[in-house]
Structures are given as C-alpha cells and as structure tokens.
A and B are shown apart, each in its own frame.
Chain A
Amino acid sequence: MEEDLDRWFIREIVAHEAALMRYLSRCWSDHTEIHDIRQECYIRVYEAAAKSRPVSAKSFLFQTARHLMVDHLRRRRVVSIESVEDLDALNVSVDELSPERRLSGVQELWHLSYAFDQLPAKCREVVWMRKVQGLSQRDVGTKLHIAETTVEKHMARGIRLLAKFLFDEERATERTSAKDTGAASAPELKDTGLEHES
C-alpha cells in the first residue's frame, strides 16, 4: 500500500511540478519562499492521499497550493501581503495552469538530455561516469583526480539539480508554447477561496 502511494505521488503530483512552480511564482512574489511552499504543499497532499486518494490529483494539488497561500497570508499579523499582488490571481482554473501535456517517450528523453546538459561540468561528468559508464565511485575519483567523498558530493548535487531541471523548471517543450497563463480567471473558482474560509 505504501509503495503504491509513493508511485502515485510521483506520477500524479510531482509530474505537475513545473506548472505548480509557475503558479506559485506568479502569485507569490517573494521567490525565496516558493520552494518551501511547494514542499509544504507536497506534504499536505501526500498526507491527505494516505487517508484517501483524491479523485482528481491535479485539481487537488492546485487547490492545496491556493489554500496554503491564503493560510500564509492570514497567519501574518500585519497585512503583509508581502507578495500576493491580488488574491484574485490565486483563482485560476487548473486546466489553464497545466493543460494535459503528456510527453512522448522520445520527448521525455529529449527533456532529460536538456536537463543533463544544464549540470555544472564536474557534476555532469560524475553523473555520466557513474550512471552510464557504471564506474565505481573510486574509479571516477581516480579518473578525475578527486577524492571519493568529493565524487559523492558531486553526485548528490547532480541528483538535486536533475530534479530541479527535470521537474521544476519549465519543460523545454513548454518553455515558449505555454503562453503566460496570466490573465483570465476561471469563473467557477472565483472568490471561493476566501469566502469558504472566513
């Protein structure tokens, strides 16, 4: 059961990370906080899904994000809107944020090669040698004249950056095709956030 939940989480939630980050960065102008908001959002979704899986994972994810931002605003004593230019901006339809865009296998590989190329040179070398050439940590260290612990550090950093470029950065294929989702807000969601909670 737990295994299952983990796989569901990757397939249905992390898959929308790029759109989620776009949404967060649009609504929350203090960009130093949005990674924490994303994390908080993941925690809430995961814990809720452990009890029962939401019918539509994607809408549930974005609803959770919106509630979280509203909560954050309320918790501040001063109206430190700090960031949210306008709560209306939080009310947008899910489809507008993340139209179904399943990449084909080939496109996924293309995106992977893009993410891989974004890595800093040393990280990139270490990841390639370990993951593709299957060299041991020690051999990589010898080849690159660096300590084994340094190899491990480059690996760890490579993993973090790959996650960033694979999930959180806009997919290379979406970069220009996904026009700014800015303007229109979906009427059916309009204002529900606030009234519902006050």
Chain B
Amino acid sequence: MSLKAIEEYASECLARRDSGQWSDADQASLNDWLRASTAHRVAYLRLEAAWAEAGRLKALGAGLTLDQVPPPGALRDNPFLKSAQVNTALPLIAPKTPRRVPYALAASIALCAVGAIAWRFYAPHSSSYETIVGGLEGIPLSDGSHVTLNSDSEVQVAVTPRERGVELNHGEAFFEVAKDPTRPFVVKAGHARVIAVGTQFSVRREGDQVDVVVIEGHVRVERDNQSSGAPPALLAPGDIARSDGQGVLVQEKPLSEAEAILSWRSGFLVFHDTPLKEAVAQFNRYNTRKIVIEDSKVANLKIDGNFKSTNSEAFVRLIESGLPIRAEHQDGHIILRGE
C-alpha cells in the first residue's frame, strides 16, 4: 500500500469517525488495520494529531459570527492573535542591525561602480579575467550582459560603444547577453567566432576544439577566416556545436540536456549513464588532485547523479561504496582500481 493510499484511508476513517455514522464494527476494522502495520499506525497518528489540533479553531472563532465561515485572513484579525502576530512575525521582517550606515556605504560603492563602468565603457582597452582550478566566477559587464567563468578559464573583455567583444583564451564561459541589436556580442575562441545579439550560450575551448551550447535565442558560429568558404552555422536553443578547425558539427538536443551540460554554473556536475572515465575527466577539470583510472575494467562503469564539482573526494567515496572499485591516495593523485 502506497503512502498516498494509506493516508487516504486513514483520513477517510477520521472524517467518518467524526460524522456520527461510525459503528463498533468500523472501529474494530480500523483497529485491525492499525495493528496490521506500523506504516498504517504512524500515518494515522500524524493525521489524527493534526485533526485534534484543528479542534482549536474553535478558540480562534471566538468573537466571530459563528454561522459564517470567516474569509481567509479574518482569523488572524482576532485581537487575541494580533499580539501573537506581532511577537512572531515582526522579528522576521525587522532587520537585526540598523541599516542606515550600510546603506550609505552601499551608495558610495555604487557611485564608484557607476564611475568605473562609465570609464570602462569609453576606455578602449580590455580587461582580463581568470579563474583557478575549481574556481567559478561571475563577471557583470558594462552593457548589462553577464559572464560566468568556469574552472581554469581565462577571458578578455572589451566592451565599446560599437562592439562587445570577448576573447576566450582557454576554458569555458557562459554568456547571458543583454539585448542590443546595434552592438553584436562576439566571442572569439581560437579559430571560431560565436556571434550573438541577445541570448544565453556557453563556449568552451580546449586547444583547437571549441564547443558551443545554446539555451536561449540564436547564435552564429563562423570561422575566423571567412575566406575558407565554410558557411556559418546558425544555432538554436538546445543546439550543441563542436568546431575543430575543419568545420562545425551541430547536434540538436532537448533543451534539458543542453541545460544539464551547463550545470557547472551552479557548481554541479550532472551525470546520466555517463561512463566513469568521462565523469573522472570532468572532475579533473575542477580539482587539482587528479583522479586516475588504472584499471580499464572499471573505466566504462556507468554513473548517474548530481555531484558538487569541487568535491572529488566525496565523489570517490560514493563510487567506492556503490561500485566494485577501490581508491588509493598516492602522491596527490587518487588511483581507482577494480576490486
């Protein structure tokens, strides 16, 4: 019997027991049912306690016209409760510390920020951002766009009144591009150029290989050198493109899959029937202590689940407990072998 069915039966009994149409035989069969399983008993006790508590609604109704059902919120207007409301609800809203000083501070910081942004807007030079292994950083751009930089990545950003340009030197970044048809947003990654107007997509670069994942709007991927004759590829949400210097391969995936690939933005790795060797390669992007598979037998075991990307130790403990794998810590590496 499912929990839902148990709770339905228990609540029906409680409702009927109160109705006056409740015979000794009904009680006897309820008793049998309760004795039959602890699952029945605990569910029943819980609902019974809630129902008993509801008896106190009478106390709340005091002072109200009893032949009407009070409209929502009316019970709390009860003067008796109003005092309680003050006691319980107020501390939740009222800030614990006076806010005036931090506000002033925030205001002056904001002014500085406006100054800095204005300056950067007109400044011709670009700014560079970098993350270490395991790092994850959000970079707000002056045009309202936002860049999320994944582990071990580096970008150079130049936002001018005419163009918004980002150069991905290595690693991976996710872009939420503010709409601005007059200023295309161009990401250069090796030989590939990814061009957007207002959209959300990620670019990952490993040497010559560039992967682009789009989850909103459209982007265009073209070769740096237009004379090569390769036509640009137009990507829609859910599309995953891989460019390797020769051409662009586009795969259409369900949007959910594209989003799962981008789960790193929240610090997680999502695996679904993923071979262990691929999962390990992912973890190694985020951790300086590398995991090494020394036994080809285990390399293709399948992994499922969500993991914190920077906690490879927890990941290793979990696969040890669930798969026939032994882990050994050696010279800053974690070695995986079959059992």
Which one of B53, B56, B78, B305 contacts A79 once the chains associate, using CB atoms below 8 Å?
B305
Q: Which B residues, 45 to 61, have Cβ-Cβ distances below 8 Å to chain A?
A: 45-47, 49-51, 53-61
Write the B55-98 contact mask toward A (1 if CB under 8 angstroms, else 0).
11111110000110110110110101101110111011100000
Which one of A79, A86, A132 contacts B319 once the chains associate, using CB atoms below 8 Å?
A79
Which one of B15, B18, B87 contacts A107 once the chains associate, using CB atoms below 8 Å?
B87
The answer to whether A113 touches B92 (Cβ under 8 A) is no
User: A132 vs B74: C-alpha distance in the bound complex, in angstroms?
Assistant: 15
The answer to whether A128 touches B304 (Cβ under 8 A) is no
Q: For the complex, is A93 an interface residue (Cβ under 8 Å from B)?
A: no
Q: For the complex, is B43 an interface residue (Cβ under 8 Å from A)?
A: yes
- Set of chain A residues within 8 Å of B57, measured between Cβ atoms: 112-113, 116, 127-128, 131-132
By a beta-carbon cutoff of 8 Å, the part of chain A in contact with chain B is 6, 9-10, 14, 17, 29, 35-36, 39, 42-43, 46-47, 73-74, 76-88, 103-104, 106-110, 112-114, 116-117, 124-125, 127-133, 136-137, 152-153, 155-157, 159-160, 162-163, 166-167, 172-173, 175-177, 194, 198
Q: For the complex, is B29 an interface residue (Cβ under 8 Å from A)?
A: no
- Set of chain B residues within 8 Å of A162, measured between Cβ atoms: 50-51, 53-54
Q: For the complex, is B7 an interface residue (Cβ under 8 Å from A)?
A: yes
The answer to whether B84 touches A130 (Cβ under 8 A) is no
B53 to chain A, nearest CB (A): 6
Q: For the complex, is B224 an interface residue (Cβ under 8 Å from A)?
A: no
Q: Which B residues, 1 to 53, have Cβ-Cβ distances below 8 Å to chain A?
A: 3, 7-8, 11-12, 14-16, 18-21, 38-39, 41-43, 45-47, 49-51, 53
The answer to whether B45 touches A109 (Cβ under 8 A) is no
The answer to whether A175 touches B318 (Cβ under 8 A) is no
A47 to chain B, nearest CB (A): 5
The answer to whether B73 touches A112 (Cβ under 8 A) is no
CB within 8 Å for A79 and B318 given contacts A29-B306, A176-B92: yes
Q: For the complex, is B303 an interface residue (Cβ under 8 Å from A)?
A: yes
Interface class of chain B by DSSP: helix
B253 to chain A, nearest CB (A): 22
- Set of chain B residues within 8 Å of A80, measured between Cβ atoms: 304-305, 322
The answer to whether B45 touches A14 (Cβ under 8 A) is yes
By a beta-carbon cutoff of 8 Å, the part of chain B in contact with chain A is 3, 7-8, 11-12, 14-16, 18-21, 38-39, 41-43, 45-47, 49-51, 53-61, 66-67, 69-70, 72-73, 75-76, 78, 80-81, 83-85, 87-89, 91-93, 268, 301-308, 311, 314, 317-319, 321-323
- Set of chain A residues within 8 Å of B56, measured between Cβ atoms: 108-109, 112
The answer to whether B304 touches A125 (Cβ under 8 A) is no
A25 to chain B, nearest CB (A): 14
A selection of 22 A-B contacts at a CB cut-off of 8 Å is A9-B45, A10-B49, A14-B45, A39-B39, A39-B43, A42-B46, A43-B38, A78-B304, A79-B305, A79-B322, A80-B304, A88-B314, A112-B54, A116-B57, A116-B75, A127-B57, A131-B55, A132-B58, A163-B49, A172-B89, A176-B92, A198-B321
User: A156 vs B314: C-alpha distance in the bound complex, in angstroms?
Assistant: 44
The answer to whether B308 touches A110 (Cβ under 8 A) is no
User: A110 vs B92: C-alpha distance in the bound complex, in angstroms?
Assistant: 15
User: A44 vs B317: C-alpha distance in the bound complex, in angstroms?
Assistant: 26
**Which 4 residue pairs of A and B lie closest in terms of their CB atoms, listed nearest first?**
A81-B305, A163-B50, A155-B15, A79-B322
